[in-house]
Amino acid sequence: MRVAFLALGTRGDVAPLVGIARHLCGVTPGCQIVFVTHADLHDDSRDVCAGWEWGTVASTQCASNDKSAVRDQERESLVAACERAVPLDGIVFNLFALEGLAIAESLGINAVAVTTFWPPTPPAAMLPVRGLLQEIRDAMPDVAAELDKGAYQGANAVWCWADLEVWLWRVLLDDHGDWRARRLGLAPSPFVATSNGRQVPACISPVRLLSLVSPLLLLPEELAAVPEGAHVHMTGSPSAPLDEMFDRVRDVYIGFGSIEGLGLLDLDIAVAFLAVLQRTAGSLLCHSTLATGGVLSSAAAKLGVEFMNGVVNLDEVFSTCTMVIHAGGAGTVAAAARLGIPQIIVPFHFDQHDWASRVVSLGIGSRLPPLEALLSRGSDQQVELMVGQAIAQARSLCGSATLVTMARQLKDESQNAMDRIVHALSGQLQQ
């Protein structure tokens, strides 16, 4: 089996696909991997992924402010890498590399989508997307009627309207249709074909969405909101292997993952926030995922706070701490919850606000406002009071029945999670 993995986004978006590809190689004799991602994320994986072929797209820290130009560059890199890798048996892609679906269609091979965040559905704020979905239903009643029956099957195609509502809506954004036609010679819509003068669902390759988010970390209403019939397979989140443990217990871990690399953390704000934490939280360990020059580690150095740089095993580091303060990435949420450690989320963007709300609702952590908003709330004393309350709330959860039960359930779930993921993925690719 020869499979291309297309992974764009931050390290938290890319690393899970590296893990899946490694496990796929381990259980599939002769499996060949072509891994396409950002240049600055290659070095994280090359040493442990010997024998893989690598494709490169623009850096996650691309200097261009022209988002359209960056997207065009990313698309061309994805297509060129897959064309060089032919013959392929399938493509696995994350939702930031949704072009993988069209590339698979152009090559006549199967595809599997993987998401590390939830929900993939259009957020309520994206009313134009929801309106566009309704316009499509109104404009293509024959297609909608067929897809409302469930999974339409033709020429091995398996998908339904619920998939469009849950995650395939993303191909309706930007200039995706024009790009499909111009670069790949495909019909602008991956969903619609014409047969005997009628619009019918197009016979695209079978596709599934594998969600690495544990259902245990979602609220009942969120699970219930997924439309019936959607091809979303909930696999759960695999744990990272534990290596040597740190030998000294620290009180509070603070790290914002790839937020620094995206230029979303200001040094003065980081220094002000750490100064508040020094007065309210006790012993700190700051962590910047950047090898050098991280904003958080620079702030820590200014204040004499212990810090570390580079990529680390979160399970390993968290095991030495009594609390975790982070930006709200899905993987970080799962790692802290799996170890039964209370967490405080300080969200920056995207689904981080959703995770902040979830950990509070689930009773496994607390939240603070985004840093700029927090530090502009009032006097230093008022800010310190707000931070102190969040820390006290999180500490009150230590050893709670809710946190202990959640940790046990997540550990049980993670035992064979990677086997389940690869089994589902292999079955889809080999259809």
Query: Is residue 51 domain-shared with residue 190, that is, in the same domain?
Result: yes
Q: Where are the beta strands (DSSP E) in 172-264?
A: 192-195, 198-201, 207-211, 232-234, 250-255
Query: Is residue 27 domain-shared with residue 161, that is, in the same domain?
Result: yes
Asked, for residue 245, whether it belongs to a domain, the answer is no
Query: Is residue 149 domain-shared with residue 132, that is, in the same domain?
Result: yes
Supply the CATH number for residue 171's domain: 3.40.50.2000
Report the C-alpha gap between 189 and 186 in whole angstroms.
Answer: 8
Residue 155 has pLDDT above 80, yes or no: no
Residue 301 has pLDDT above 90, yes or no: yes
The pTM score is 0.84
- Count of domains forming the chain: 2
Query: Is residue 227 domain-shared with residue 258, that is, in the same domain?
Result: no
Asked, for residue 12, whether it belongs to a domain, the answer is yes
Query: Is residue 255 domain-shared with residue 388, that is, in the same domain?
Result: yes
Asked, for residue 299, whether it belongs to a domain, the answer is yes
Query: Is residue 164 domain-shared with residue 59, that is, in the same domain?
Result: yes
Asked, for residue 424, whether it belongs to a domain, the answer is yes
pLDDT single digits (tens) 200-237: 666 555 677 888 888 899 888 888 777 777 778 877 77
Residue 194 has pLDDT above 90, yes or no: no
Q: Could you tell me how many helices (H) and strands (E) the chain has, helices first?
A: 18, 17
pLDDT single digits (tens) 269-282: 999 999 999 999 88
Report the C-alpha gap between 98 and 78 in whole angstroms.
Answer: 10
Query: Is residue 29 domain-shared with residue 170, that is, in the same domain?
Result: yes
Asked, for residue 87, whether it belongs to a domain, the answer is yes
pLDDT value of position 299: 94
Query: Is residue 186 domain-shared with residue 284, that is, in the same domain?
Result: no
Task: Check the CA dihedral 38-417-286-348 and report its sign.
Answer: positive
pLDDT value of position 206: 61
Using DSSP's 3-state secondary structure scheme, residue 78 falls into: helix
Backbone angles phi, psi at 234, to 5 degrees: -85, 110
pLDDT single digits (tens) 319-340: 888 999 999 999 999 999 999 9
pLDDT single digits (tens) 72-111: 889 999 999 999 999 999 999 999 999 999 999 899 888 8
Residue of higher predicted confidence among 263 and 355: 355
- What's the DSSP call for residue 43? H
pLDDT value of position 224: 79
- Report the range of poorest mean pLDDT among 6-20, 223-237, 259-273: 223-237
Residue 242 has pLDDT above 50, yes or no: no
Using DSSP's 3-state secondary structure scheme, residue 122 falls into: coil
Q: What integer is the mean pLDDT of 154-180?
A: 73
Nearest to 285 by CA among 303, 265, 267: 303
Report the C-alpha gap between 221 and 212 in whole angstroms.
Answer: 18
- What's the DSSP call for residue 245? P
Query: Which residue's structure tokens are 């949704």?
Result: 98
Query: Is residue 265 domain-shared with residue 396, that is, in the same domain?
Result: yes
Q: What integer is the mean pLDDT of 128-145?
A: 74
Residue 245 has pLDDT above 60, yes or no: no
Q: Which domain holds residue 207?
A: 2-238+415-429
Contact criterion met (CB below 8 Å) for 116 and 212: yes
Asked, for residue 306, whether it belongs to a domain, the answer is yes
Query: Is residue 56 domain-shared with residue 183, that is, in the same domain?
Result: yes
Contact criterion met (CB below 8 Å) for 347 and 367: yes
pLDDT value of position 419: 86
Euclidean distance between the first and final Cα of the chain, in Å?
A: 13
Contact criterion met (CB below 8 Å) for 273 and 256: no
Query: Is residue 409 domain-shared with residue 422, that is, in the same domain?
Result: no
Query: Is residue 301 domain-shared with residue 171, that is, in the same domain?
Result: no
Residue of higher predicted confidence among 242 and 355: 355
pLDDT value of position 338: 92
Asked, for residue 244, whether it belongs to a domain, the answer is no
Helix (H) or strand (E) holding 178: helix 176-184
pLDDT single digits (tens) 357-399: 999 999 999 999 999 999 988 788 899 999 999 999 999 999 8
Asked, for residue 303, whether it belongs to a domain, the answer is yes
Report the C-alpha gap between 8 and 25 in whole angstroms.
Answer: 21
